[in-house]
Amino acid sequence: MRLTDHEKAMLDGQHGAARARAMDLLVRYGEALGAERLVETNNVAGAFNASTPSIRHIAEQGFDKVFSELNLDSDETVEIPRMAVPTCQLITGIDNDNWEVQGVDAGLAELQKQSERYLGQRGVNLMATCTPYQVGNVPVKGEHCAWMESSAVIYCNSVLGARTNVEGKESTGAAALTGRIPYWGYHLPENRFGSHLIELDIEVDDMMDWGLLGYFIGYAVEENIPVLKGASHQPTLIKLKHFGAAAASSGGVEMYHIPGVTPEADTLEAAFGPRSAVETIRYGAKERRETYEKIQSATDRKVDFIMLGCPHNSIEQMELIAHLLEGRKIHPDVQLWVHTPRAIRQVADRSGYCDIISAAGGVVMSDTCPAISRRLPPGVRVIATDSAKQAHYLPAIAKVQGWFGSVTDCVEAAVAGEWRGGVQ
């Protein structure tokens, strides 16, 4: 790989041991990819926090050890300086206020708080959400980013027109300390054109339908770039957030185009650029129904746990849930957790939504989710969620049965203690 003089100086240790370890990893990673060079980035979103039991024994050796091992892949423990470029923490393992509800012990909750103080002292902005674009980190078109979190990456590339690959814990650590990331994949304009045409034969409008469409497309195109034709309704942030999260879960989709909606495709022709579609895939009533059946992993209709807010809810979703729950009580055998970024939670509190959800018996959580924390209420056997992503991952992670449906179906299940959802 070609390195600039500044990059060589970092690699040689002229900017300290931590930046040398970071450059060493970026060179190994770039050569594995076959990248020719690095690119400058000023926007890093990664996972740095110490919040899981598996990190505890590493954290006992200090937070420099945690960052060195898990964020730089360095056997040597190096002293970690201030991040070189703006950097934020994505979703983490523990809700700093609701850790007891999660079943976290006091020691681990305190470890996370200490870790956050350490990271904050080094310039890591503790957004603690999978949706940094909902709470102020909104890259502009063309901006080179180094982001983790597959649902955020697909949003960043497709909806915002900024440029990032799916980075990992180690590459975001190295990028934060150097302001560099391999110039490969979605950083190159020629790799951002569509490859597969998805023809929509049915209307796709509500959030559940965007989730189903995304889940279908992920299996159909795997890591390729789908282009949607025939979208009859203008999607919103909420719908594209769910669509992308689903496509990134069932496949490895990191970018898509919706001509007339997403910024790099004014037209169908612009979406494909010099390429032509290698395959045309139709999505109609049959595919929708099959996808709905495929995503369900439950047979038992008696539900224990309702999970809403994956990816983390927007303020409009918080309002809708409060509206659906107002004056009602959830079933005594059911627990309901609603997840939203801490910054949005403050607005939801002020608007009275959290009080309504609490009065109904639900818990508003921030900072984490059950799939990331691997923590559910004790004894849960059957869950229901409005998220295709959570329905995909949580049954595998927590060995539970999962129902997927609309937010209304989920709230009704919380009240009745029974799943009655379905599709027409």
Partner 1 sequence: MTTNLAATEETFVIKGRKVVGGRSEGEALVTTDTISGWGGINERDGSIIERLHELHGQSFADKVLIFPGAKGSSGWSAFFHMTRLNGVAPKAMIFNRMTTKIALGAVVTRVPAMTECDTDPIETIRTGDWVVVDADAGIITVTRRSES
Nearer to partner 1 among residue 148 and residue 160 (C-beta): 148
3-state secondary structure of 402: strand
The dihedral over CA atoms of 143, 144, 146, 151, expressed in degrees to the nearest 10, equals 50
Instruction: Work out which of 137, 249, 262, 387 binds partner 1, going by CB under 8 A.
Output: 249
Rounded CA separation 353/238 (Å)? 18
Under the phi-then-psi rule, with left for phi > 0, alpha for psi from -120 to 50, and beta for the rest, what region is 322? alpha
The contact mask relative to partner 1 for 45-64 (x = CB under 8 A, - = no) is: --x------x----------
| 371 makes contact with partner 1 (CB under 8 A) | yes
| 216 makes contact with partner 1 (CB under 8 A) | no
In the chain, count H helices and then E strands: 19, 14
Nearer to partner 1 among residue 88 and residue 415 (C-beta): 88
Rounded CA separation 50/55 (Å)? 6
From the CB of 344, what's the least distance to partner 1, in Å?
22
Angle between helices 388-398 and 285-295 (to 10 degrees): 30
From the CB of 251, what's the least distance to partner 1, in Å?
6
Neighbouring C-beta atoms of residue 403, cutoff 10 Å: 26
Binding residues among 294-313 for partner 1 as defined by CB under 8 A: 297
From the CB of 196, what's the least distance to partner 1, in Å?
15
| 33 makes contact with partner 1 (CB under 8 A) | yes
Rounded CA separation 301/48 (Å)? 39
Give residues with Cβ within 8 angstroms of 419, minimum separation 6: 298, 301, 302, 303, 382, 384, 403, 405, 409, 413
From the CB of 104, what's the least distance to partner 1, in Å?
19
Binding residues among 138-177 for partner 1 as defined by CB under 8 A: 147-150, 153, 165-171
Give residues with Cβ within 8 angstroms of 293, minimum separation 6: none
Instruction: Work out which of 16, 81, 123, 252 binds partner 1, going by CB under 8 A.
Output: 252
3-state secondary structure of 163: strand
Binding residues among 385-414 for partner 1 as defined by CB under 8 A: 392-393, 395-397
Instruction: Work out which of 10, 38, 44, 70 binds partner 1, going by CB under 8 A.
Output: 70
Instruction: Work out which of 22, 240, 248, 306 binds partner 1, going by CB under 8 A.
Output: 248
**Residues contributing to the site for partner 1 (CB under 8 A):** 25, 28-29, 32-34, 47, 54, 69-70, 73, 147-150, 153, 165-171, 182, 184-185, 222-223, 248-249, 251-252, 297, 371, 392-393, 395-397
